[in-house]
Amino acid sequence: MSTEYDASQIQILEGLEAVRVRPGMYIGSISSRGLHHLVYEIVDNSVDEALAGFCTEIKVKINEDNSITVRDNGRGIPVDIQQKAGKPALEVVFTILHAGGKFGGGGYKTSGGLHGVGASVVNALSTWLDVKVYKEGKIYHMRFEKGKVVENMHVIGECDPGESGTEVSFLPDATIFEETVYDFDILKVRLRETAFLTKALKIVLIDDRVEKKEMSFHYEGGIKEFVTYLNKGKAPIYDEVIYCEGVKEKVVVEVAMQHNDTYTEGIYTFVNNINTPEGGTHLSGFKNALTKTFNEYARNNKLLKENEDNLSGEDIREGLVAIISVKIQDPQFEGQTKQKLGNSEAQTAVNAIVSEKLTYFLEQNPGIAKLISDKAITAQRARAAARKARDLTRRKSALDGMSLPGKLADCSSKNPEECEIFIVEGDSAGGSAKSARKRDTQAILPLRGKILNVEKARPDKVYSNAEIKSMITAFGTGIQEDFDISKLRYNKIIIMTDADVDGAHIDTLMLTFIYRFMPELIKEGHVYLAQPPLYKLEKNKKVWYAYSDEELDNILKEVGRDQNNKIQRYKGLGEMDAEQLWETTMDPERRVLKKVVLDESMLSETDLTFNTLMGDQVAPRREFIETNAKYVSNLDI
């Protein structure tokens, strides 16, 4: 191509170069998260086209070389010359930062937060990017490398005049990203969510690498179906999903909800299809409307007697699964991570629409209203009982001078920074761990058998459970409203269980308890899973430990598969003596720990995972054990 560098071109190159110099500023991170974010950035353009009413299908393909192809059947990015820039609009879209919104022709452009930074950022961070536009019988093509034009826009062929659409392929730059391999499941979760939020849009995800896979997401029911999906494997207390929609003050509001028979609430909020894990005005508008409307209905219909207190919001939301989706012209994001919606008109709009539609729904469906009110009244009573139980525990521990649980072998150091606590399955392994540990910094708390499944127990039961009480006192932080992370007595909480199915189940019960009652411990990175070895191999008085079958294979390749190899498969922690337990699993110098992390963008999925595992159904449970590792990342080695 001929290159005449005029001022505007130099500006463009400087702009895209800035993206390459500080990629994190534009896509949040250069880890796996940023890598996947590139796909969402491109797909969001097609979703905007769908929201504008011109696109019904998006195909996302992971190619063999881990490049990505996104194709839609929208109108196609404009190819005519843009007056101001003097170049094809297509080129502008991929080379000018924040150009996206200018071509939307109204609609709801995403801005703020990390989203909506546009196709030019993806282009700047790709080794190459290819775009094809199908429009008015022609196929236009253009190619870039590291954000720079290497092939100007030109027609490469003809297409059916009735066909239109955009196809973008790109290869993330391996010199920029720490991770370059796409994870099908991560894309799956996000694209499924996008499909739920964009009624009637079909999204197809194809994996064209060695293990070929294809999934299609298409939900005519939109967020109503999202709620049904989230309640899968749980028991809804009524069949219908309650649905409210409307527009007020230019805010488009959609809410879907349904109660199940559990005790936890799962409310997921979105603004312009982007999830807002910290909530904000749309969420508070919803909560206010729900509490007010329901109490009003309950009073008017004598479900609450005159001498009875109003139901609290928490009572009414017990077991509630809800999706709140708003579309708003100019979203303002607040808070530390810029994930909390700040627009006050969203609060007003959600409040008004939910109040009106829910009042109508309750009047039309007195049977359902009664079921919700029965559940909320029971919740109210249980909450009072739980408060009593907790106050009792609190008073008792104050009297005892905060006495620690009898089974705890505490460490001598009082500096939480250097202290860790091992939660150990079973008394016998607990015994070995006690003799193996480094007394000054390592504490051991043995637990008897399986801990209570908090997913299935009323809160008051949770407070009176002995194993759980001993953990709460040992950690020192208190729980829920009382939670105070500054009182944490150990920097690391390490769950140590057998490397078998039972052990995995106990891990999940533990993680569920922590996730529901002290989620900050996970968010702040204090929770770990110990990794005991699966095999011990002895040869010529030398010893090797293997933590997976693969590792055993590798060791055998190195030392040779001889007759005199002695391989022991550990069935549990109990088979190791104190010294073995120390050197394989507890010694900070040699052990492998898995740090438990929460992916905020997968919160609805994380909730679902905890629930399916803890629920009664057997089939979904297996699914969790297989995908469990997704939520856990290897860190401390």
Write out the catalytic residue numbers.
425, 498, 500, 502
What H or E segment, with its residue span, contains residue 253?
A: strand 251-259
Among 20, 33, 61, 75, binds ligand TTJ (CB under 6 A): 75
Number of C-alpha atoms within 13 angstroms, CB side, residue 123?
Answer: 31
SS3 215: strand
Nearest alpha-carbon partner for 294 in 320, 329, 270, 323: 320
* 3-state SS track over 147-171: CEEEEEEEEEEECCCCCCEEEEEEE
Among 8, 97, 103, 288, binds ligand TTJ (CB under 6 A): 103
Given the complex with ligand TTJ, which of 78 and 574 has the nearer CB atom? 78
Residues 6 or more apart whose CB falls under 8 angstroms from that of 212 comprise 206
Q: What angle do CA 129, 131, 137 make, to 5 degrees?
A: 165
How far is Cα 496 from Cα 527, in angstroms, rounded to an integer? 11
Among 168, 242, 303, 530, binds ligand TTJ (CB under 6 A): 168
Given the complex with ligand TTJ, which of 78 and 416 has the nearer CB atom? 78
Among 67, 95, 166, 291, binds ligand TTJ (CB under 6 A): 166
Given the complex with ligand TTJ, which of 103 and 184 has the nearer CB atom? 103
Stretch of 67-75, 172-180, 320-328, 580-588 contacting ligand TTJ, by CB under 6 A: 67-75
Given the complex with ligand TTJ, which of 164 and 260 has the nearer CB atom? 164
Stretch of 70-78, 315-323, 518-526, 552-560 contacting ligand TTJ, by CB under 6 A: 70-78
What H or E segment, with its residue span, contains residue 394?
A: helix 366-399
Among 51, 119, 242, 518, binds ligand TTJ (CB under 6 A): 119
What is the sign, positive or negative, of the torsion defined by CA atoms of 350, 356, 358, 359? positive
DSSP string, 357-373: HHHHHHHH-HHHHHHHH
* Cβ 218 vs Cβ 191: under 8 Å: no
Given the complex with ligand TTJ, which of 134 and 624 has the nearer CB atom? 134
Given the complex with ligand TTJ, which of 72 and 410 has the nearer CB atom? 72
Residue 171 burial (C-beta neighbours within 10 Å; 0-12, 13-18, 19+): middle
Stretch of 68-76, 302-310, 370-378, 415-423 contacting ligand TTJ, by CB under 6 A: 68-76
- Give the x/- contact pattern for ligand TTJ in 30-49, rule: CB under 6 A: ------------x--xx--x
Among 72, 254, 410, 455, binds ligand TTJ (CB under 6 A): 72
Q: How many CB atoms lie within 10 A of CB 160?
A: 8
Measure CA of the first residue to CA of the last residue in the chain; give whole Å: 51
Stretch of 74-82, 138-146, 449-457, 458-466 contacting ligand TTJ, by CB under 6 A: 74-82
Nearest alpha-carbon partner for 168 in 260, 77, 282, 276: 77
Among 15, 28, 78, 431, binds ligand TTJ (CB under 6 A): 78
Helix axes 223-230, 184-197, angle to 10 degrees: 130
Beta carbon of residue 119, minimum distance to ligand TTJ (angstroms, whole number): 4
DSSP string, 573-615: GGGS-HHHHIIIII-TTT--EEEE---GGGHHHHHHHHHHHHS
- Residue 20: what residue type? R
Beta carbon of residue 161, minimum distance to ligand TTJ (angstroms, whole number): 16
Total binding residues toward ligand TTJ, as defined by CB under 6 A: 17
Beta carbon of residue 206, minimum distance to ligand TTJ (angstroms, whole number): 15
Given the complex with ligand TTJ, which of 102 and 292 has the nearer CB atom? 102
How far is Cα 355 from Cα 81, in angstroms, rounded to an integer? 49
> What is the CA 1 to chain-centroid distance, rounded?
45
For residues 190-209, which are near ligand TTJ according to CB under 6 A? none
106 binding ligand TTJ? (CB under 6 A): no
Given the complex with ligand TTJ, which of 100 and 285 has the nearer CB atom? 100
Q: DSSP class of residue 482?
A: G
Nearest alpha-carbon partner for 169 in 27, 67, 76, 73: 67
Beta carbon of residue 104, minimum distance to ligand TTJ (angstroms, whole number): 6
How far is Cα 281 from Cα 351, in angstroms, rounded to an integer? 10
Beta carbon of residue 126, minimum distance to ligand TTJ (angstroms, whole number): 12
Beta carbon of residue 197, minimum distance to ligand TTJ (angstroms, whole number): 17
70 binding ligand TTJ? (CB under 6 A): yes
Beta carbon of residue 363, minimum distance to ligand TTJ (angstroms, whole number): 43
How far is Cα 545 from Cα 568, in angstroms, rounded to an integer? 10
Among 35, 77, 203, 488, binds ligand TTJ (CB under 6 A): 77
184 binding ligand TTJ? (CB under 6 A): no
**What residues make contact with ligand TTJ under the rule CB under 6 A?**
42, 45-46, 49, 70, 72, 74-78, 93, 103, 105, 119, 166, 168
